[in-house]
Amino acid sequence: MKQKNECTPDMAKHIKGIVCDVRNCAYHNGKSECYAGSICVGPCEADCSANTVCATFKPREC
Confidence of residue 12 (pLDDT cuts 50, 70, 90): low
58: pLDDT strictly greater than 50: yes
Closest CA to 9 of 21, 26, 32: 26
4: pLDDT strictly greater than 60: no
Residue 34 to residue 15: CA distance in whole angstroms:
6
Within 10 angstroms of residue 60's Cβ, the number of other Cβ atoms is: 12
Residue 4 to residue 52: CA distance in whole angstroms:
31
Confidence of residue 14 (pLDDT cuts 50, 70, 90): confident
Quote the mean pLDDT of the chain: 82
pLDDT at 2: 44
